Amino acid sequence: MGLLGGTGREGQALALRFAHAGVPVIMGSRSSDRAREIASSLCRRLGHDLISGLENREMIRNSDLIFLTVPFPEAAGAIEVYADSFQEGSILVDTTVPVAFEKGQPKYNELPEGSASEFLAGRLPAKIALAGAFKTIPTHLLGDLTVPLACDVFVYSDFDQARERVMAFAGLIPDLRPINAGGLSAARTVERMTVLAIGINRRYKIKTARFRVIGL
Min. distance of Cβ 202 from a second copy in angstroms?
A: 9
How far apart (Å, rounded) are the C-alpha atoms in residues 6 and 20? Answer: 16
- Residue closer to a second copy by CB (options 126, 214) is 214
Give the residue with the Cβ less far from a second copy, 35 or 181: 181
Q: In terms of CB distance, is 9 or 212 closer to a second copy?
A: 212
- Which of these, 155, 153, 139, lies nearest to 207 by C-alpha position? 139
- Site for a second copy, rule CB under 8 A: 105, 108, 138, 141, 150-151, 154, 179-182, 186, 188-190, 192-193, 195-197, 199-200, 203-204, 206, 208-216
Whether the CB-CB separation of 6 and 29 falls below 8 Å is answered with yes
Question: Could you tell me if 93 and 18 are in contact, meaning their C-beta atoms sit under 8 angstroms apart?
Answer: no
Output 23 or 193, the one with its CB closest to a second copy: 193
Q: Which amino acid does the sequence have at 92?
A: L
> Closest Cα to residue 139, out of 8, 1, 3, 4?
8
- 215: three-class secondary structure by DSSP: coil
| Nearest approach, Cβ of residue 138 and a second copy (Å) | 8
Measured from the CB atom, the residue of 42 and 190 that comes closer to a second copy is 190
Closest CA to 13 of 137, 153, 166, 167: 137
Shortest separation between residue 118's beta carbon and a second copy, angstroms: 13
Residue 198 beta carbon to a second copy: minimum distance, rounded to whole angstroms: 10
Residues 34 and 22: beta-carbon distance below 8 Å: no
Residue 195 Cβ, how far from a second copy at the closest point, in Å? 7
